[in-house]
Structure 1
Amino acid sequence: MRIVDVCAFYTPHGGGVKTYVEQKLKIGPALGHDITILAPGDDYQVIEKGPNARLITLPSPRFPLDRKYWYFGDEAALHAELDRLQPDLVEVSSPWRSASMVGRWQSDTPRALVMHADPLSAYAYRWFQPLLSRETIDRRFERFWNHLRDLGRQYDRVVCASGELRDRLAKGGVANTVLHPMGIEANLFSPAKRDCALRRKLLAACALPESARLLIGVGRLSAEKRWPMIVDAVAAASQSMPLGLVIVGQGGHRKRIEKQIQGNPHIRLLGVEKDRQKFATLLASADALIHGCEAETFCMAAAEARASGVPVIVPDRGGAADHARGGAGLTYRAGSALAAAQATLKLLHNPPRGPFPLPTTTQGHFEALFADYEGLIQRRHAAA
C-alpha cells in the first residue's frame, strides 16, 4: 500500500507531529507499506529515509506567526505532486487549509483526515467557555463546524485518537469518524523503573521530606496546557498535605509559569529530559501525574504515566480523560483549579492500585490504522 501523508505542520525542529512522522516512516515499511511524507518547505527536496520511506518538501511560504513552520500555498502544485506519486491512500494531518486542498483533488483515491489538532477545544472553548456555554460557542463557530462537516463528506475516514473527540465530532454531524488511539513506545515505560532514591532527590529539591507526595507534570509550556491553573491547584492542595510538584517541559510561557509559582519552594520547573530511559524513570518515580489541558487529541504524557503505573489527575474533557478510565486515575472539571485540587487530594488519600489497563504501543497503533486503510482500498476496488 502506497500512503502519502500530506503533513502541513511538519517541521524538522521537533514536536509531536515530527515524532509521529518518524515513527510512521520506520514502522510503515516494516509492515510492508510505502510511506511518503509530503510537507511544505523552502524548496523541493526528496529526502530518503530508508527503504520505501521518504520525505518530500514542496516550495511553500513560511508561516508568519512561527517561522519554524511553512504552509501549503500552491494548490495546483500539491495536486500535481499527488498525481505524480499515485498513492493508494492519502492522509492529511491538519483540519485546516491543506485538508480542503486535498479534498478538492480530482481523484477517486481513498482519503483519511487524521485529527492531530482540536482547534475548538484549544481555542474557542478555552477562550470563551468561562462566559458562554459550549452550545452557544458551537453556534458562534458554525462556519468552522460546516468546514468539518464538509471534510467528513470528502474523506473516507476522520481519524480521532480519543473517544471524546470522536463522539463530539460525530454528534456535531461530521461523517466517517473512527477511533484509533495512538500508542506509546514499546518496552520503555514500566512500574519497575520507579527509583526511590530519585524520588527522594526530587522531593528534596521541592524542600520536602520523603514522606511527602510527589506530583509530576509533563508537557509543552504553552497557554493551552494551563500550567498556571495547575500551579494554583497544587498550591491549594498542599495546604492539606505535604505535596511537591515538578513540571517537565519547555516552551514560550516559561516566564509566565515562573511568575505564577512566585518562589513556592515546593514547585520546581525542570527542562526537558531528552534521555528517554531517564525520562521513563523520572515518570515512574512520581506518585501521580497531573495535567491541565482539555484540548489533547490523545495525551501522550498520561498514556506513558499509565504504562508506568502512575495514576493520573486529568480534565474531564479531551484525550487526557481516556487515561483515567479503568481505575487509572481521576478526572476533574476542566479549567477549574479548585476541582483539580480536590481531585488531587482525593486520589492521594486513596491512591488506585494497579496494574492499570495498558495503552497500545506505537506498533499496535499503526497496525490497526493501516489495516483499516487496507479495508477501505479493498472495498473501493470491489465497488469499482
Structure 2
Amino acid sequence: MKIVDVCAFYTPGGGGVRTYVDRKLVAFAARGHEMVVVAPGERDGMERRGANATIRWVRSPRFPLDRSYRYFADRAALHRVLDEENPDLVEVSSPWRSASIVADWRSERRARARLSLIAHADPLSAYAYRWFEGVASTQTVDRAFDWYWRHLRRLDRRFDMVVSASASLTGRLRDGGLQKVLTDPMGVEPGRFSPTLRDAAVRREMLALCGLPEDALLLIGVGRHAPEKRWPMVAQAATIAGARTPVGLVIVGGGSRQRPVIDAIAGNPHVRLLEPTSDRPALARMMASADALIHGCEAETFCFVAAEALASGLPLIAPDRGGAADLARSGGGVVYQSGDAQAAADAILAVARAGPAGRELRPVRTMDHHFDDLLALYAQGTPASKEGSCR
C-alpha cells in the first residue's frame, strides 16, 4: 500500500509531531508499505528516508500566529503533489485548511484513493472550555462553537474514516454528530520505559531537591509550561496535600509560560521545576523512580506521558476528562475533577494512603500496536458502518 500523509505540522525543527511521523515512516516501511509525508517547507524538495520512505516539501509561507510553522497556501500545488504520488490512501493529520484542501482534490487518481482524517487534537478542550470555565458549561460552549462541529461533520462526510487517538475523544466526536469515527490509541516507545529502571538513589536525589526525606511521597509531572497543562493548579494541589503529608513534586518541562507556574509555587521548597530533557533514558529512570505521575491537562487526546508512566509502573493522578483520564481509569489510577486544585489534592492523598502495595502493573500498549492496528484499519477498506475500536 502507498500512503501519503499530508502533515501540516511537520517541521525541520522537531517536536512531538516530527517524532511520531519519523517513527511511523520507519514502521510502515518495515511492514512493506511505501509512505510519503507531504509537509509545508521553505522550498519545494524531496528527502529520502530509505527505499520506501520520503519527505516531500511543498513551498509554503510561514504561519502568522506561530512562525516556527508553515501552512499549505497553494491548493493547486498540493493537488499536483497528490496526483504525482498517486497514493492508495491519504492521511490528513489536521482538521483545518489541509483537510479541506485534500477533501477538494478532484482527479482520476483521486478516485482510487481513500481518505483518512487523523484526529490528534481537541481544540475546544484545550482552549474554549478552559477560557469559559466557571462562566459557561461545556454544552453551552459547544453550542456557541457549533461552526466548529459543522466543519467536522462536513469533513466526516467527505473522508472515508476519522481515526481518533482515544476512547474519550471518539465519544466526543460521535456526540458531535460524526459517523465514521474509529479508535486507534497511540502507545509508548517499545523497550524504553519500565519499572525495572526504578533507582533508589535517583529517588533520594529528587526528594533531596525537594527538601524532603525518603519517606515522603514523590510526584513527577512532565510537560511544557502551557496554559492547558494547568501546572499552577497542580503545584497548588501539591501544596494543599503537603499540609497533610510530606509531598514532593518535580515538574520536568519548559516554555514561555513559566512565570504563572513559579507564582503558583509561591516559594514552596517541596515543588521544583526542572528543565526539559532530550535524554530519554534519564527521563525513563526519573519516571520509574517516582511514586506517582500527576497530570493537569484534560485536553489530551492520548497523553504519551501518562502511558509512559504506566509503563514505568506508576499510578496516575489525572483530571477526569481526556486521554489521561482514559489511561488512569484503565490503569487503576485516581481521577479528580478537572481544574480543581482541592480535588487534585484529595487524589494525591488517596495515592499516598494506598502506598506501594496498592499498585498493580498492567500491560501497556506500544507504538508497534498502534501502527499495526492503523494499517489493519486501512487494509479493511472504508469503515463507515463499523463501530468500536482496534484493540
Q: If the length of structure 2 is used for normalisation, what is the TM-score?
A: 0.94
CA distance in 2, matches of 1:88, 1:43: 26
Q: Is the 8 A contact 1:289 1:305 kept in 2?
A: yes
Tell whether 2:207 aligns with 1:203: yes
Question: Cα distance, 1:354 vs. partner?
Answer: 4.1
Q: Is the 8 A contact 2:223 2:254 kept in 1?
A: yes
Question: Cα distance, 1:261 vs. partner?
Answer: 1.5
1:373 to 370, 378, 384: 378
Match of 1:139 in 2: 143
Check 1:327–1:7 CA distance in 2 against 1; reply closer, same or farther (3 A cut). Answer: closer
Question: Cα distance, 1:176 vs. partner?
Answer: 0.6
CA distance in 1, matches of 2:147, 2:331: 39
Give aligned pairs, total.
379
CA distance in 1, matches of 2:122, 2:307: 18
Question: Cα distance, 1:378 vs. partner?
Answer: 11
Question: Cα distance, 1:377 vs. partner?
Answer: 6.7
CA distance in 2, matches of 1:72, 1:142: 25
Question: Percent of aligned positions with the same letter in both sequences?
Answer: 53
Match of 1:67 in 2: 67
Match of 1:290 in 2: 294
Q: Is the 8 A contact 1:40 1:57 kept in 2?
A: yes
Amino acid at match of 2:157: R
1:129-278 matches, cutoff 5 A: 129-278=133-282
Question: Cα distance, 1:214 vs. partner?
Answer: 0.3
Q: Is the 8 A contact 1:313 1:344 kept in 2?
A: yes
Amino acid at match of 1:207: G
Deviations 1:41-95 (A, max 9, x none): 1110101111210111101110112111001111111111101100000000111
CA RMSD of aligned residues (A): 1.4
Question: Cα distance, 1:256 vs. partner?
Answer: 2.4
For the residue of structure 1 that corresponds to 2:10, the secondary structure is coil
Deviations 1:176-212 (A, max 9, x none): 1011000111111111111111101110000101111
Match of 2:387 in 1: none
Question: Cα distance, 1:11 vs. partner?
Answer: 1.4
Match of 2:369 in 1: 364
Question: Cα distance, 1:263 vs. partner?
Answer: 2.0
Match of 1:5 in 2: 5
Deviations 1:320-364 (A, max 9, x none): 011112453111111111111111111211147444332311111
Check 1:251–1:93 CA distance in 2 against 1; reply closer, same or farther (3 A cut). Answer: same
Question: Cα distance, 1:166 vs. partner?
Answer: 0.3
CA distance in 1, matches of 2:361, 2:237: 25
Tell whether 2:322 aligns with 1:318: yes
Q: Is the 8 A contact 1:326 1:357 kept in 2?
A: no
For the residue of structure 2 that corresponds to 1:50, the secondary structure is coil
Match of 2:55 in 1: 55
Q: Which ranges of structure 2 fall in alignment gaps of 5 or more residues?
A: 385-391
CA distance in 2, matches of 1:238, 1:355: 25
Question: Cα distance, 1:28 vs. partner?
Answer: 0.7
Match of 1:333 in 2: 337
1:117-128 matches, cutoff 5 A: 117-128=121-132
CA distance in 2, matches of 1:369, 1:361: 13
Question: Cα distance, 1:234 vs. partner?
Answer: 0.7
For the residue of structure 1 that corresponds to 2:381, the secondary structure is helix
1:343-358 matches, cutoff 5 A: 343-351=347-355, 353-358=358-363
CA distance in 2, matches of 1:267, 1:194: 21
Match of 1:76 in 2: 76
CA distance in 1, matches of 2:121, 2:244: 37
Match of 1:382 in 2: none
Q: Is the 8 A contact 1:166 1:178 kept in 2?
A: yes
CA distance in 1, matches of 2:345, 2:359: 23
CA distance in 1, matches of 2:332, 2:383: 38
1:279 to 280, 283, 301: 283
Match of 1:26 in 2: 26
Match of 1:88 in 2: 88
Question: Cα distance, 1:174 vs. partner?
Answer: 0.9
For the residue of structure 2 that corresponds to 1:221, the secondary structure is coil
For the residue of structure 2 that corresponds to 1:82, the secondary structure is helix
CA distance in 2, matches of 1:378, 1:95: 19
Q: Is the 8 A contact 1:326 1:356 kept in 2?
A: no
Q: Is the 8 A contact 1:48 1:55 kept in 2?
A: yes
Amino acid at match of 1:373: Y
Question: Cα distance, 1:366 vs. partner?
Answer: 0.4
Amino acid at match of 2:32: G
Deviations 1:220-268 (A, max 9, x none): 1111111111111111110100000000112111222122222211011
Amino acid at match of 1:235: T
Question: Cα distance, 1:275 vs. partner?
Answer: 1.6
